Each structure stands twice: as C-alpha cells, then as structure tokens.
Structure 1
Amino acid sequence: MCGLSAFVSSRPDPGPLDATFREAFAAALATLHHRGPDDTQIEFGDGFAFGFKRLAIIDREHSVQPLHYADRWTVVFNGEIYNYRELRAELIRVHNAVFATEGDSEVLAAAFHYWGEAALPRLRGMFAFVAYDHRTGTLHAARDAFGIKPLYMLETADGLFLGSERKALDPFAAPAGAALETEALAHYLTFQFVPDPMSLHRHIRRLPPGHRIIWTPGGGVRMHRWFRPSLRPLRVEPEDAYQRIREALTASVHAHMHAEVPVGTFLSSGVDSSAIAALAVREKPDLHAFTAGFAAQGYSEIEIAQDTANQLGIRLTPTVVSDEDVLTHLPRIIQLLDDPIADPSLIPLFFLAQTASRFVTVVLSGEGSDELFGGYTIYREPLSLDRVDRLPPGMKRGLKHLAEVLPEGVRGRSFLERGTTPIEQRYYGNARIFDPEEKARVMRFTSQPHTAITAHLYAETADVDHVASMQYVDLHTWLPGDILVKADRMSMAHSLELRVPFLDQQVYAAAAGLPTDLKLPPGVTTTKHALREAMKGIVPESVRSAKKLGFPTPTRLWLRGQIGDWVDHLLSTSQAGDLIDLEYVRGLLAEHRAGGADRSRKVWTVAMFCLWHAIAVERSIIVDDPLPTRVPVQRQEPGLSHVFG
C-alpha cells in the first residue's frame, strides 16, 4: 500500500521542469506521507514527474519506485498483486522476461509491457497504477475491478496530473471554493458520499473502478472500461455452490496472507470478518485480531467478537471510542477523506486502524461480502413487495393513489407506496439520506435527479431480478464510493495496509451466479444464506446464524449530547449557507434533540459537509499535519486499548 503522484506535460518539447514546479510537486507528494512512510522517491525528467511514498510489504529491501522496465517504461503502482509469483514464472517461460527484483511491482510492469491491456484481468489483487511509455510519450493508468485502490486525475493546460488522493492534486487546481461542483454536492446529499467519477472539485475526477485511461500529448484522455461485474443468477445445485464459495474464499485468504511484515485481521460480530479470521488462523496460528466499540450500551460488538476470538483461539485487542475521541479527531478524519463521507462507521474504523497499526502492518477485512452475497436487509424488500409488483398496471395505479390519500402513519401506507413505486425510483443505494422532495427544500441550487447516477445501472440489469439489480447498483455506487473509500483512507491514515479477500476474482466468480433463493431464501431471517452455509463447520455457529450488525455507531445519542452542541455551533457558523438551508437543518437537529423523530442521518450528512467546507473552503478549521511518523510495529501485550485525543 503506497501513495503515488505523476505528471506529464502536454506542451511540445517541454524540456526540464523548473525549480518552482519541482518544489510544488514534492510538497504535494508530502501530503501522501501517511500512505508510505518507509521510502520517498521523486523522479523528474523532460516534461514528466513521478513521485512515490512506499509502505514496504513485499521485497522490502528492493522494489523501489518509480520503477523502470525494458528501457521503456516508468511505473508507479499502489496495491498488491497476489498472483505475482505465478505471473512472473509465466513471463519468464513465455517471453524470457528479465527481472531485477523479487516483488510484484516489476511483475506488473513486465505484464503490461508484454500483454498490454490484456494483463489487467490477469492481475489478482488491488491496484491503481500509472505507466509512462517513454518511446511513444503515451501514459497509461488503470484501477482495479472493484475500486479498492483510489486514483484521481486532473487535466490542465499544462498537462495531466494523477495521484492516490485528491490532496496531492489540489495545489495544481483552482481553489476548492471557486471550483465547487454543486452536482456532486447534490448527489452527496442523497447518497452520503460523492459517487464516481465526480469529486467536490469540478476539475478533479476519480478514475472509476474497472477502467483504464490512455493519454497522449495533444490527444487528451481516452477512457476505457476493462471490467464490468455481472450478477446473473443461474441454476446451481446448493451444495455445489457452497463448496465453490468455501474453496474460493479459502484460496483467497491464503493469497491475501502473503507478506514480509506482520499480518492481522479485523473482527466484528458478523459472519464476514469471522469467516476471514477463521480461515486466516489456519494459515497463521498466532493471528492477532482487532475490534472496536463504544461505551454506550448497545453500540459495542466487543463481547461478541471476544467470544468468537476465544472459540477460534485468536488473540483479540479491542478499542473503545469515547465522545472526546470523536470531537478531537473528526476534523482530521474528514480532512483525510478529501471529500466528505457521512457514514459514521468510518469513525470507529479510524481508531480500529490506529490500534492495529501498533501491532501489524497488514490487516484483512470483510468489505465486499454484503454486495456480492446479498448481505443487506433492504435486499429483502423486492421479495416482500412481490405480491403488489405482480398486480396489473391499472390496479397498481389505483393502490398508488390510495397510498397518497392515506394519512401519514396509517398502517400499510408505506407498503403500498413502496410496492407501487418502480424499483428504479425506489432504490438508489444503501443510505438514501434526503429524498428528492426534501433535498429540493434543503438545497439552494438546482441539480440533476439521483437517477442520473443509477439509471444506466438499472438499464444494464433489465434482464435480472430486482435483488440482483439492487446488488449491481451497490457494486457501482455504495461499494466504491463509501465502503472502500473509508477502508482505504482510515487504514492508510495509520500506514496500515487493508486487504479485502472477498473482493477477489475467484470469490466474485463463486458469487456472481448465485440465484436469489440461495442468497435470501424464503422463511430465513438472516442474509447471505449461501455464504453462511459455506462457512458451516468453519465459523462458530453462534456467529454463523446471527444477524448482521457491523460496527454500530451511536449517532442518535451523539447528537443529543456534547457532540450535538458542537454540530449546532458548526451549522450556525458555517459559511455554506449559500449552498444549503442551514437553518432548516438546525431545525431538524432541534427536533431530534427534543426527542422527536430521528433526524440523525440527515443532520450528520449536512454537518460533515459543513466540516469539510470549513476545512477545505473557508479555512476556518485548520487541521494540523495529521500524518505523524509511523509508530514501529511492536509486539505489545494484548489488552484494552482506549484511545484518547
């Protein structure tokens, strides 16, 4: 896991880059120090610059980047290629490839040299890389299939900039306030994150997952999609499906355990992290696991995680997060994200990663399982609404009218509303913060509807059932826009590499063809049925049959205490009032604090934008350098780690 930065000039015969640019480029790269504190390298040439911050995991003494290959390529690469040894052997056997290192970076460079774009589907792992062809003056860049590793782009009159985080590009772009993208803000208010390829900066974009670009001087950027996930339910024998999942996940965990540094795992109360931990401890009997929780009653999974760890024979270190921790570190957390994410679960993840980084350099985590195997309870909605959905159109119109005239709170109204609303309008992601009507009330500008993000995804899944369509929407929005961003940023904040065994080629292949009745069978209250069945005899039965929780956060309680005081002050002093009706949102907060309806998600979403605005636009909140030198990994005694500001 590392941080990369690159620039290629669009000017003809650009010559050496001047000292001012070199200084600015080096300063921008320094903002990525948390991603790779083990080594820093910068290379300048005629019209190009490459910078790299390395977190050394494989071939630690060598594999320095920027890397050069075949007297033709300069490559910077962030991620891990888990099948690099097999690819290396094939490249030597078939192409007589020559290698100077023992790591995966040079294998990636060689694979791209010999196979070009065809190398991308053969890379088993997570990656974002930039490869510059000195022979043709062409730049190539690509991002892994699911968007595990980030890559940002900025094209200016001077040329093309790329970086692992937006902050490495900001110095070369217009000020954030002048270039604030209101369309991105509008979608943020719906989804609680900014969806790809947008950012809140109008000129800085993210390369979407499963995409690559080719850039040439004078030709600009051409983008191509090299991977498109498909969830096409097939007829499969249940036991065959379970065995395939079990074998694929076992092989994936085995591959993800390879490192020359200490490896641990995150552990919650769910089947995802428990499955990874159970398989990982087979590879590493002294496996160290980490979990987090809050002091508030009902908002901690530590006891369940401890019970699981005891049953698996795993050492567990828990972390308790206090309100003071949240108030102290929240500005730092938002600053690390580049664009705000209103998912409060990123807060315990920040502290969880902080604790883990004191013991290990790599952790395994369960991201991606819910999207692939049908883990969210909302995926059951099409099954419960099936009776209404099958009615003739005329009858559905009548029921829709009935729902509209029924008073609020009348039993059955919500069911009729949802059942008579097309899936394309009803489901637009896991969060769904402000509905279109209230969003129009909150925003002080107009924008495209949320369907601008999801319409083409539903069009691409018109021939599958609604559950598969919902999973497909989440694979393209929620997973890369929220889940994987927070996983990357909160772990990298502490120079900790986070690996996701569920987002693996073989695991994806085992999940892609599962029929809905193996994911969410009738009469079963839990989700991810096929995964749970596959883990029978591997995961403790107390976890295998339990409902999904995932590190729960007490946002409702926070807003009724001292954090609520802080949020009210933030809203009352924010200069973002020209974009959002902040007095309306303060009214929602007051209603929530008075014990009325739960408005916590809406208030928190606006508050996180206002915090971002104060940091990035107003500069009224200054986050001191949040990137301390990595604490050397130590073999500490296990115990309770309580994080204080």
Structure 2
Amino acid sequence: MCGFMSFISTDSLRDERVEQVREGMAQARHRGPDDTNVWHDERTCFGFNRLSIIDIENSGQPLKWGPPESPQRYWMVFNGEIYNYLELRAALARDDGAVFHTEGDGEAIVAGYHFHGAAWVEQLRGMFSFVIWDSQEKLAFGARDPFGIKPLYAGRTPDGFVFGSEAKSVRVLTGQPIVDTTALQHYLVLQYVPEPDTMDTAISKIESGTSFTVRDGALEQHRYFTPRFASTPVRTPDEQEELYDRILKVLDDSVAKHMRADVTVGAFLSGGIDSTAIAALAKRYNPDLLTFTTGFRVDGYSEVDVADDSAKAIGVEHITRWVSEEELTSTLPLIVWYLDDPVADPALVPLYFVANEARKRVKVVLSGEGADELFGGYTIYHEPRSLGPLVSLPNPLRRGLAAVGRALPDGMRGKDLLRRGSIDLEDRYYGNARIFREEQLPGLLKTYDPSVTFHDVTDPLYAQSRSWDPVQRMQHVDLFTWLRGDILVKADKMTMANSLELRVPFLDKEVFEVARHIPVGEKLAQNTTKYAMRKALEKVVPAHVLHRRKLGFPVPTRVYLRGDSYPWARDIITSSPTEEFIDPKAVLKLLDEHRAGVADHSRRIWTVLVFMLWYDIFVAGTIVPEVPHPHYPLRL
C-alpha cells in the first residue's frame, strides 16, 4: 500500500508540473515513508511514495515494464495489493510468454494490461488504484478496485488531468478548494460526501469498480464491476450445510491470500463476530498473530473485555490502546487533515489510535469491514419484514395510518412504525447514517437548496434493483453509499495516517460471489443478522461472540459534549469562519440543548464540528495541524 500522483498533460509537460508533483507527494509522505520517487517524460509525470510490503528490495515505483522489443513502453503507479498476483504471474508467463523483473504484484497488472487490454482489470483480486502510461500509444489507463477500498482522486487543470491517492496532493495542482454546496448538503444528511463528489468543486473521485482512459485530452470512464445480489434457493438441510461450507471455505481462502506479505501481518479485534472471525482464520496462517483493540474508559463505550476474552479463546497475543477525552479533542484537527474530505464518523478517532499502536509492531493488519454489507449484518435490514403488513396495504389506508402517526405524541410507542410503514422503501432508506432530517436543514444551512435531496444519490441505485428483494436493495444502496463513503474511507485514511496497511478479507470478489447468492432468509433468521455466516463460523468463532451484537469501536461523544468537551466544541463553533454556510447560532442552540439533556444532538454537533475543522484547515487556513514526520523501520 502506498500513495501516488499522476499528471497527464494534454500537450508538452511543463517544468512546474514536475515540481508540483514532488510537492504533492510530500503532502502524502505518510502513505509511503519507505521510499519516494518521481519520473516524467515529455507528456507525463508520476510520483510515488512506497510502503514496502511485497518484494521489499525490488518492486519500487514508478514501475517500468514492456515486452522485449520495447522494454520501457509502460510506466505505472499502483496503490494496494493484488492477492492473486502469484497465480496471475504464472498464467501470464505460461500463456503469454510474459517476462518479469521483480517478484512483486505490480508487474501482474501492467503485463496483463499489455497482453489482454482493459478487460484485465476484471482478473485482479485485491484492493487497488493505479494509472498506467502507454508511451507508445500516448494514453493513460487506470482503475479502482470493485468496492472502493483504495481511494483515487481526480482533478482537471487547463493543461491536463491529475490523479492521486490524496486530495491534498491533487490540490497542489487544482488550487485552493471551493466548497461544493451540494456536497455540503448531502454531507449534513449522510455524514459523508457521496461519490463521485468531494467537498471541493475542483476534485472528484474515480468511483469504485471503474476504469478510465485519458487520450487526446479526453477522460473516458467505464464501470467494469457492478455488484448484483441474486439469491439461489436453499431448500433442504443438506443444501444449507453446503452453503455454510462454501462460506467458510471462501473466507478461509480469502484470509490466506490476504496474509501474503514479506512483513508481519496482525489483525484488529473488537468484540464482534467479523473481526473475531478474521483473526481466528488468520491465526491458522500465522500462529504468532498479534491483535489490537481500543476503547474509552466510559461505561458502555468499550468492548475491550470482550475482545480480551476473544483473544484468549483463539490463542493470540492481544494489545489494547485506551483513548482519553483529551486525546480525542486535541487530535481531531490532525485526523481531519488526514481525512482530506470531512467524514463525521466518531469511530475515526479510536481507529486512528489503535492503528498508531499497531504500527509499532506490525506493518499490515486485517480487519472485518464489509461483512455487514455482504452478509446482511445491519439490524435495519429486518425492517422490510416488520413493516410488511403495513406496506402491503392500499395507499389510501397507508396515508391514513401516516396521519394517525403524525397525531401521536413524540416518543410514543408505534409512532415511528406507522410513519415508516406509510413510506416506500425508496423514500425511507438512504443508508445507515441519517444525521440532519430534511426539515432541519433550512434553519442551519444558509446555502440550503430544497431541490437537493438524498434521492439524487439513491434513486439511480434503486433503479438498478427494481426486481430485487427489499433487503437486497438496501444492501445495494449501502455498498454504494455507506460502505465506500464512510467505512472504507475511515479505514484507509486512519491506517495510512500511521503508515499501516489495512486489508479487508470480506471485501473480496470471490467472497462476494458466494455472498450475493445467499437467500434473504439465510441472512436474517431466528431474530438475528448474518445468520448463514454465523452458522458457517460456528467452529471458528468463540461462542461468547457468535451471536453477540457488535458495537465496533464506540465513541462517547454524547457524554463528552455534555461535560468537559463542551467548551472545546463551543470554541470551534464560535471561531470558525464558516458563517457563509452554517448558522453558528443554530449550532450553539443544538449544543446547549444537548448539554442540558433536552435531546441527544451529539451526532449532529459532531458532523458540523468536523466540517468546520475541515474548512478551517483546507480553505481558511486558520488551523494548521502539526503533522508528524513518518519514521518507521523498513521491516517488521
């Protein structure tokens, strides 16, 4: 895992662009402290910061490769890992006569592209973003992995296109950010900016599962992967057991391939089934596996005890990193700097600190992201079944029930059930994070536009899944919104902030191929979630975790904002020069109501605070976090 920049000029490359790429790579030194290089020709400039994981001595980048008759035809920068690279290299050598000069995974990408073209990206099993320059054809080809595990930002300048692993690197060429008010409005609802947009009008993201070509001054994009759920019926006990066996087999294979590295691999371990399963399977391939967890010393906001019990049960050495309230508040500006774009998930903070602790001992960690989206792990996925009797009623009756619900006092049992049962799925479900409701925005957001709604994000996704089961449709929405907008962003940014590679074995194309065929009745059964996955892991995961509801890395912002962190939050609100966008009086009202116990506004307050810090750092320049220089041993 590393960080890169690519500038593709529409004409002759200007000298200042080379220096800007060098500056951009300096902004992303944390992504690759082991080595840094810049290469350019008359049209293109590539910059690369390396975190050496595979073939440590030889697989430096920018990587050159070509057939014997043109050995320097291709140049590539690549961030991520290709887990089936050994198999791909063997096939390319056997079937195509490819000659390799390293032992790394990068050559499997560029050689495959040479022999098989753009379709080769579909053979890659891994997490990746890359750009290849074909000096003979004068074109660039690039792609991002199917689920969006690795980031890839893009910007346009008057003389070319710039791509990078960090928005702050791209911004060296695109200039000071201008706030995208549509993105801001979506952010206040969702707690992240949905792809392909960012908070900066000049920068976008290459979407997950997308490849692209730059040629003759034009950028063309192509979606090569679209996840589709298609249940295969399971009718008999034997078929059930076969399904559970397939799940366990593919997860074990994925973990085995995710363990491929020339450095030490550890694992994050919370109190839930996902991370515990990954750690237990990983121990099969590394008996000396180290696991890491984090927590706050606040009642109800720690799974440290459960993680300790899990570590003992699976027989691994376990390290805990406690996080204090002072660390949370003092480090948040630095965390926002690493983020590039605001993401208002408080779990960023403990993830940053546990990654920092892990980096002292390992260079790679496995983690459990993606299991909920693939295997049906969110409690809200039960909602279509619980609302079924109401949703099936004729529309006039549903409207009548909605009116009854509105007349009931707030907090009364059944009020929310009647309200949600009267609303179609497309109108009520837009992902796991719902921060500000539509009716709350006009009093807060000065740039509020009533024509901008979550439907802009979710309607195209629902259109792709019209014939699917409602639960599958919700999973589909989450794959394109919550997963790649929040979960994977915080996973990448907080680990790479500490020069630590994070791998996610659940988000593997072969795992998805099994998961997508699981019937909804095998995902949600016996009043639990991820039922089939739990059954598959009965002999792997300790019993105390198998059916336990996961908290993850919970953060006591609700408690802190009512106590010692109140002055800290108030100071940010009153000093931030964001009044062009946000009404500070409205935010202070939320803060005071929260402190008084009138309502729990902690998530809304946190969402605004993160945006304000982002603006202060990247637009106004009134906050300049002290960014530590990454310095770690090459080998661990």
Q: TM-score, normalised by structure 1?
A: 0.95
Partner of 1:273: 275
AA aligned to 1:26 is R
Partner of 1:231: 229
Deviation at 1:463, TM superposition (A): 0.6
Between the aligned partners of 1:185 and 1:579, the Cα distance in structure 2 is 9
Between the aligned partners of 1:632 and 1:26, the Cα distance in structure 2 is 22
1:457 aligns with 2:461: yes
Between the aligned partners of 1:285 and 1:469, the Cα distance in structure 2 is 40
Deviation at 1:342, TM superposition (A): 0.5
For 1:391-406, list aligned pairs within 5 A.
391-406=393-408
Deviation at 1:573, TM superposition (A): 1.3
CA contact (8 A) 1:9 1:217 kept: no
Deviation at 1:6, TM superposition (A): 0.7
CA contact (8 A) 1:151 1:162 kept: yes
- CA deviations on 1:58-107 (whole Å, 9 max, x unpaired) are 11110111111113211111010011111111111111111111110111
Partner of 2:49: 53
CA contact (8 A) 2:33 2:630 kept: no
For 1:268-417, list aligned pairs within 5 A.
268-417=270-419
Deviation at 1:22, TM superposition (A): 2.6
For 1:617-632, list aligned pairs within 5 A.
617-630=619-632
Partner of 1:132: 133
Q: Residues 620 and 596 of structure 1: is their aligned pair in 2 closer, same or farther, counting only changes over 3 Å?
A: same
Partner of 2:256: 254
CA contact (8 A) 1:493 1:627 kept: no
Deviation at 1:142, TM superposition (A): 0.3
Deviation at 1:383, TM superposition (A): 1.4
For 1:137-152, list aligned pairs within 5 A.
137-152=138-153
Between the aligned partners of 1:46 and 1:561, the Cα distance in structure 2 is 59
Secondary structure of the 1:238 match is helix
Between the aligned partners of 1:126 and 1:456, the Cα distance in structure 2 is 25
For 1:112-127, list aligned pairs within 5 A.
112-127=113-128
1:3 aligns with 2:18: no
Between the aligned partners of 1:577 and 1:401, the Cα distance in structure 2 is 37
Between the aligned partners of 1:245 and 1:201, the Cα distance in structure 2 is 41
Between the aligned partners of 2:340 and 2:522, the Cα distance in structure 1 is 39
- CA deviations on 1:255-294 (whole Å, 9 max, x unpaired) are 0011100110000000000001111111111110000000
Deviation at 1:630, TM superposition (A): 2.7
1:17 aligns with 2:18: no
Q: Which residue among 416, 431, 434 is the counterpart of 2:433?
A: 431
Secondary structure of the 1:80 match is strand
AA aligned to 1:108 is I
Partner of 2:490: 486
Partner of 1:106: 107
- CA deviations on 1:174-227 (whole Å, 9 max, x unpaired) are 322xx2111110110011001100011101000000001111123x11111000
CA contact (8 A) 1:17 1:48 kept: no
Deviation at 1:387, TM superposition (A): 1.1
Q: Percent identity?
A: 47
Secondary structure of the 1:567 match is helix
CA contact (8 A) 2:212 2:222 kept: yes
AA aligned to 1:558 is Y
Secondary structure of the 2:275 match is helix
Secondary structure of the 2:154 match is strand
Structure 2 unmatched runs, 5+: 67-71
Between the aligned partners of 2:233 and 2:442, the Cα distance in structure 1 is 44
Between the aligned partners of 2:519 and 2:258, the Cα distance in structure 1 is 28
Between the aligned partners of 2:605 and 2:270, the Cα distance in structure 1 is 27
Between the aligned partners of 2:374 and 2:441, the Cα distance in structure 1 is 30
CA contact (8 A) 1:243 1:534 kept: yes
1:95 aligns with 2:92: no
For 1:195-210, list aligned pairs within 5 A.
195-210=194-209
Between the aligned partners of 1:214 and 1:633, the Cα distance in structure 2 is 36
Partner of 2:447: 445
CA contact (8 A) 1:494 1:630 kept: no
Between the aligned partners of 2:329 and 2:550, the Cα distance in structure 1 is 28
1:616 aligns with 2:618: yes
Deviation at 1:466, TM superposition (A): 1.3
Between the aligned partners of 2:405 and 2:635, the Cα distance in structure 1 is 59
Between the aligned partners of 1:393 and 1:531, the Cα distance in structure 2 is 37
Partner of 1:580: 582
Between the aligned partners of 1:631 and 1:31, the Cα distance in structure 2 is 20
AA aligned to 1:180 is V
Deviation at 1:239, TM superposition (A): 1.6
Deviation at 1:404, TM superposition (A): 2.5
Between the aligned partners of 2:175 and 2:37, the Cα distance in structure 1 is 27
Between the aligned partners of 1:409 and 1:323, the Cα distance in structure 2 is 31
Secondary structure of the 2:155 match is strand
Between the aligned partners of 1:627 and 1:143, the Cα distance in structure 2 is 28
**Number of aligned residues:** 625
Deviation at 1:369, TM superposition (A): 0.4
Between the aligned partners of 1:120 and 1:142, the Cα distance in structure 2 is 7
Partner of 1:163: 164
For 1:596-607, list aligned pairs within 5 A.
596-607=598-609
For 1:488-527, list aligned pairs within 5 A.
488-521=492-525, 523-524=526-527, 526-527=528-529
Deviation at 1:46, TM superposition (A): 0.7
Q: Residues 156 and 498 of structure 1: is their aligned pair in 2 closer, same or farther, counting only changes over 3 Å?
A: same
Q: Residues 318 and 568 of structure 1: is their aligned pair in 2 closer, same or farther, counting only changes over 3 Å?
A: same
Deviation at 1:134, TM superposition (A): 0.7
Secondary structure of the 2:271 match is coil
Secondary structure of the 2:484 match is helix
Partner of 1:221: 219
Partner of 1:193: 192
Secondary structure of the 2:441 match is helix
Secondary structure of the 2:579 match is helix
Deviation at 1:631, TM superposition (A): 5.5
Deviation at 1:409, TM superposition (A): 2.9
Deviation at 1:633, TM superposition (A): 6.3
Between the aligned partners of 2:192 and 2:513, the Cα distance in structure 1 is 28
- CA deviations on 1:89-148 (whole Å, 9 max, x unpaired) are 111111111111111011111011111122111101110000111111111110000000
Q: TM-score, normalised by structure 2?
A: 0.97
Secondary structure of the 1:440 match is coil
Secondary structure of the 1:58 match is coil
Partner of 2:63: 67
Secondary structure of the 1:562 match is coil
Find runs of 4+ consecutive structure 1 residues off by over 6 angstroms.
none
Between the aligned partners of 1:469 and 1:263, the Cα distance in structure 2 is 35
1:180 aligns with 2:184: no
Between the aligned partners of 2:476 and 2:442, the Cα distance in structure 1 is 27
- Of residues 195-204 and 433-442 in structure 1, the stretch that sits farther from structure 2 once superposed is 433-442
Between the aligned partners of 2:80 and 2:484, the Cα distance in structure 1 is 16
Between the aligned partners of 1:279 and 1:372, the Cα distance in structure 2 is 18
Q: What is the root-mean-square deviation in Å for CA atoms of aligned residues?
A: 1.2
Q: Residues 132 and 633 of structure 1: is their aligned pair in 2 closer, same or farther, counting only changes over 3 Å?
A: closer
For 1:521-540, list aligned pairs within 5 A.
521=525, 523-524=526-527, 526-540=528-542
Secondary structure of the 2:284 match is helix
Between the aligned partners of 1:120 and 1:347, the Cα distance in structure 2 is 34
Between the aligned partners of 1:193 and 1:631, the Cα distance in structure 2 is 34
Partner of 2:69: none
Between the aligned partners of 2:364 and 2:412, the Cα distance in structure 1 is 51
Deviation at 1:407, TM superposition (A): 3.2
CA contact (8 A) 1:358 1:633 kept: no
Secondary structure of the 1:223 match is strand
Partner of 2:470: 466
